[in-house]
Structure 1
Amino acid sequence: MAEVIVVTTNTGYPRKCCPALIGSESREAFLDTERVPGNATDRPQVATDCHCSATTCQCHWEDLEQPAQIEKMESDTKAGPVRVLVTGGSGMLGKAIEHVVMNEGLKREGEEWIFLSSKDADLRDLGQTKAVFKKHHPTHVIHLAAKVGGLYEHMRDNLLFLSDNLRINDNVLQTAHDTGVTKVVSCLSSCIFPDKITYPIDETMIHNGLPHDSNFGYSHAKRLIDIQNRGYFEQYGHRYTSVIPTNVFGPHDNFNIDKAHVMSALIGKTYKAKMEGTPVTVCGTGAARRLFTLSWDVGRLIVWVLREYDEIQPIILSVGEEDEISIKDAVEMIAEALDFKGEIKYDTSLSDGQLRKTTSIAKLRRYRPDFTFTPVKEGIKMTCDWFVANYNSARI
C-alpha cells in the first residue's frame, strides 16, 4: 500500500526523491534502500509520484515485493563499466588519488582510471576539452585541474587566476553535461571562505561574505563551481558535487619557492638553505594558523566522495580543528625533518595573508566517524623524505 511521505532538507537539495524533480514536475523516482524518515518499513521502496520544491519533496512510496523488480532497478543503476577521468592527474592530488587507487587496493573490478595532465589537453580551450572527453568517454570525472600559485603570485595576478579558472571549470562541467557523465567531483579550496566570519567555518558559510583580498580571483572562480553544481542539479538533475580540502601538502607537489603553496614552499626553501648554508627567511610573522592535510588522506576521501557521497552541497575534507598549527610550528617541523640547523628569520614587512581558515569537519565526521588522518608531523616527515629522494625530478 502506498503512503505519502514529505521529506524536508535543510541544505536546499532534496535527496530522497528523483534528482530531476523540480517544481511541480512528476515522474518515477529511484529505488531507496535506506530507511525513509517517517516510514514504517525498512523494505526497499520506490517513489512512483513526487512533487518537489527546492527544499521539500512529497512522494508516494510503494514496497517492491518482487525480487525481480528490485534486481532490475539495482542493475539499471550499475549499467556499463565505470571510467573515471581525473583532470589535473599529474599534480599532487592527482598523484595521491593514483597512489591510493592503484597501490592501496581501492580500485574496483571493472573500473578504468585515466589521469590527465596539461600535456593531454589545455582545459582552458573548449575544443581541446571536448576532444579529450570524446577520446576517453568517462562515466565519472574528478576535476582537480586548476591554475594555481603561491600567495604572492595570486596577489600579483588576480585577474588571470580568475579568468583561467572560470574557463577551465565551465569547459569541464559543460562537456561533462554534453557527454552524459554520471557524476563530477570538483575540488575547491579553503580560500573560498569569507575573510570576515566566525570560526570554525562550515559548508553552509561559503557565500556569507567576501574572500580575502589577497587571492580574490582564484577564490571567486572556485566558489562559482558550487553555484554551477547547483544549477546543473536544478536544471538537469545532475549529481555534480565538490570537496573543500584545506592546505593540502604531500609528495608530487610544486616546491617552487615563488609558486608553491605554503607548506611545500617552506620545504623547498628550507632544503635550499641547508644545501647553501644560508638562513631561511619566512614571509610574514609566522602567526597565521592553518589546518594542514596530507594529500594521500584527501585522495582516499575523494574516492569515497565519488562513490558514496550523494549531496550536491560541498563537503570539507580536513584534519580537525584540534590539529590546527601556526606557520611557525610548520617551519620548525620542517627544519627537524630536514635536519636544518641554520637560522630561521621572519620578514614581518610581508603579509601573513588570511590569519585563520579554521574549518569544521562535523559533516565529514557524521559520514566517516572512523576515518583517521595522518598526523601533520608524520606527513611533513614523509613529504620531506620524498622531496629529498626525488629532488632532481621534483617541481622546484
Structure 2
Amino acid sequence: MESGVKAGPMRVLVTGGSGLVGKAIEHVVLQEGGKLEGEEWIFLSSKDANLVDVGQTRAVFEKYRPTHVIHLAAKVGGLYQHMKENLHFLRDNLKINDNVLHTSHEMGVTKVVSCLSSCMFPDKTTYPIDETMIHNGPPHDSNFGYSRAKRMIDVQNRAYFQMYGRHYTAVIPTNVFGPHDNFSIENGHVLSALINKTYEAKEEGTTLNVCGSGAPRRQFMYSLDLGRLMIWVLREYEEIDPIILSVDEEDEVSIKEVVDMIVKALDFKGKIHFDTTQSDGQMKKTASNAKLRRYLPNFTFKTLEEGIKMTCDWFLANHDIART
C-alpha cells in the first residue's frame, strides 16, 4: 500500500481548528493563498464534536469523509492546572487521540499529522533534545499525565504503520504563540499570559508581577510559521518518526527577555517584579531542529520581537473576543 502517493483531491479535516495552531493554518490556507487546486479544508471546533466521545468522533468523520487529518485537538491547561489534574489530562487525551487515530484508520484516511508537545521530552536529559530521545525517561512531573498521553500518539503511529502501513506521523512544536492563543493569566501559554498580565497592569497602573525568576529559557515560534510548516509536513514529509518544528537553538531566549519585548510592544512604563517564590518549571528544554533544517534549510522564521509585536497588536484589537 503506497500511502505516500497523493491520489485525487485532498479533503483535510483539522481537529482543534479554532485554537491557536488551527487558526494559523486556516489563515495560511484561506488568507495567504496556501490552498492548492482541488483541496478542501474543514476546521473543526469543540462545538462540532466532543472527541473524547467515540460516537461523536465517528459521526463527524462520516459527515466530512476526510482523506487527510491534521490532529490538533487536546485537553490542555496552564502549568498549575496540570499539576493538580494529571489524571484528567491523561485520560481525556488518551481517549481523544485513540478516537481520532482509530477512526481515521477505520475510514481509510491516507495521512494523519498529529501535534505533540515539547513538554513530553524526558525531564533528565542532555541538550539539545532531538526526535530520537522522546521515550528516554520520564517527563517532568508537573504535567506527566498530558505528556504521557502525547507520547502514546508516537507509539500508536508506529503501530498503525507496522500493522497496516498507515502514514500517520507527528510534529513536535516548541513554544507557540500568536493571534487566537489562550491569553488567560491562570491557564494560558506563558508568553500570551504575560501579554494579558502586562496589559492589565498597564490599564490598572499596577506592578507587573511575573511568576518565577525570569531565568528559564525557551524557543518561541510564531503560530503562522508553525501553520506553514504543518502544511508542508502534510504534503511532503513521508516519515512516520516525528519531526521537531522549532526555531534554531541560538534563538532560545529567557522569560525575562520575553517580558522586556512585551513591555516594549505594549509600551508599559510601570514596575516589574519577578516573584521567586513561584515555581520556574523546567529551566530549559532546548530542542534541535537539525532534522527540519535538513529538509528545509532556507525556511525563515519571523523574529521573536516582530511576532510579539504582531500578537500584542492582535490582542489589543481583539480584546473583546480573545480567550482570557
TM-score w.r.t. length of structure 1: 0.81
Residue-by-residue CA offset, 1:176-220 (whole Å, 9 max, x unaligned): 001000000000010011111110000000011111011111111
1:99 aligns with 2:27: yes
Aligned to 1:113, what secondary structure does the other structure show?
Answer: strand
Aligned to 2:234, what secondary structure does the other structure show?
Answer: helix
Q: Find the aligned partners of 1:177 and 1:195 in 2 and give their Cα distance.
A: 32
1:284 aligns with 2:212: yes
Aligned to 1:114, what secondary structure does the other structure show?
Answer: strand
Cα deviation for residue 287 of structure 1 reads 0.7
Aligned to 2:250, what secondary structure does the other structure show?
Answer: helix
State the partner residue of 1:36: none
1:180 aligns with 2:108: yes
1:55-94 alignment to 2 at 5 Å?
77-94=5-22
Q: Structure 1's 105 and 197: CA in aligned 2 closer, same or farther, altered over 3 A?
A: same
Q: Find the aligned partners of 2:107 and 2:306 in 1 and give their Cα distance.
A: 42
Cα deviation for residue 153 of structure 1 reads 1.1
Q: Find the aligned partners of 1:99 and 1:317 in 2 and give their Cα distance.
A: 19
Q: Find the aligned partners of 1:149 and 1:335 in 2 and give their Cα distance.
A: 24
Aligned to 1:240, what secondary structure does the other structure show?
Answer: strand
Q: Find the aligned partners of 2:87 and 2:115 in 1 and give their Cα distance.
A: 20
Letter in 2 for 1:331: V
Q: Structure 1's 242 and 78: CA in aligned 2 closer, same or farther, altered over 3 A?
A: closer
1:247 aligns with 2:175: yes
State the partner residue of 1:120: 48
Matched residue count: 324
Cα deviation for residue 19 of structure 1 reads 6.6
Cα deviation for residue 306 of structure 1 reads 0.1
Q: 1:390 aligns with which of 315, 318, 322?
A: 318
1:309 aligns with 2:237: yes
Q: 2:297 aligns with which of 351, 355, 369?
A: 369
Cα deviation for residue 79 of structure 1 reads 3.4
Aligned to 2:257, what secondary structure does the other structure show?
Answer: helix
Gaps of 5+ in 1: 1-17, 21-29, 31-76
1:146 aligns with 2:82: no
Q: 1:111 aligns with which of 22, 39, 46?
A: 39
Q: Find the aligned partners of 1:82 and 1:199 in 2 and give their Cα distance.
A: 38
Cα deviation for residue 80 of structure 1 reads 3.1
Q: Find the aligned partners of 2:254 and 2:145 in 1 and give their Cα distance.
A: 25
Aligned to 1:254, what secondary structure does the other structure show?
Answer: coil
Q: Find the aligned partners of 1:236 and 1:197 in 2 and give their Cα distance.
A: 33
Residue-by-residue CA offset, 1:52-76 (whole Å, 9 max, x unaligned): xxxxxxxxxxxxxxxxxxxxxxxxx
Q: Find the aligned partners of 2:64 and 2:298 in 1 and give their Cα distance.
A: 35
The question of whether the paired residues in 2 share the 8 Å contact of 1:19 and 1:238 is answered with: no
1:233 aligns with 2:161: yes
The question of whether the paired residues in 2 share the 8 Å contact of 1:190 and 1:245 is answered with: yes
State the partner residue of 1:358: 286
Aligned to 1:382, what secondary structure does the other structure show?
Answer: helix
TM-score w.r.t. length of structure 2: 0.98
Cα deviation for residue 81 of structure 1 reads 2.1
The question of whether the paired residues in 2 share the 8 Å contact of 1:270 and 1:340 is answered with: yes
Letter in 1 for 2:95: R
Residue-by-residue CA offset, 1:345-396 (whole Å, 9 max, x unaligned): 1111111001111000100000000100001111000000000000011111
Q: Find the aligned partners of 1:290 and 1:80 in 2 and give their Cα distance.
A: 41
Cα deviation for residue 78 of structure 1 reads 4.2
Aligned to 1:370, what secondary structure does the other structure show?
Answer: coil
State the partner residue of 1:341: 269
Q: 1:295 aligns with which of 223, 244, 247?
A: 223
Aligned to 1:252, what secondary structure does the other structure show?
Answer: coil
State the partner residue of 1:269: 197
Q: Find the aligned partners of 1:388 and 1:218 in 2 and give their Cα distance.
A: 31
Aligned to 2:274, what secondary structure does the other structure show?
Answer: strand
The question of whether the paired residues in 2 share the 8 Å contact of 1:284 and 1:346 is answered with: yes
Q: 1:202 aligns with which of 130, 140, 164?
A: 130
Q: Find the aligned partners of 1:79 and 1:289 in 2 and give their Cα distance.
A: 43
The question of whether the paired residues in 2 share the 8 Å contact of 1:194 and 1:206 is answered with: yes
Q: Find the aligned partners of 1:283 and 1:354 in 2 and give their Cα distance.
A: 13
Q: Find the aligned partners of 1:163 and 1:293 in 2 and give their Cα distance.
A: 28
Residue-by-residue CA offset, 1:15-66 (whole Å, 9 max, x unaligned): xxx679xxxxxxxxx9xxxxxxxxxxxxxxxxxxxxxxxxxxxxxxxxxxxx
Q: Find the aligned partners of 1:209 and 1:78 in 2 and give their Cα distance.
A: 37
Cα deviation for residue 152 of structure 1 reads 0.9
Q: Find the aligned partners of 1:294 and 1:245 in 2 and give their Cα distance.
A: 11
Q: Find the aligned partners of 2:147 and 2:181 in 1 and give their Cα distance.
A: 20
Letter in 1 for 2:212: G
1:214 aligns with 2:131: no
Quick one: percent identity of the two aligned structures? 72
Which protein is bigger by CA-based radius of gyration? Answer: 1
Higher helix share: 2
Q: Find the aligned partners of 1:226 and 1:131 in 2 and give their Cα distance.
A: 25
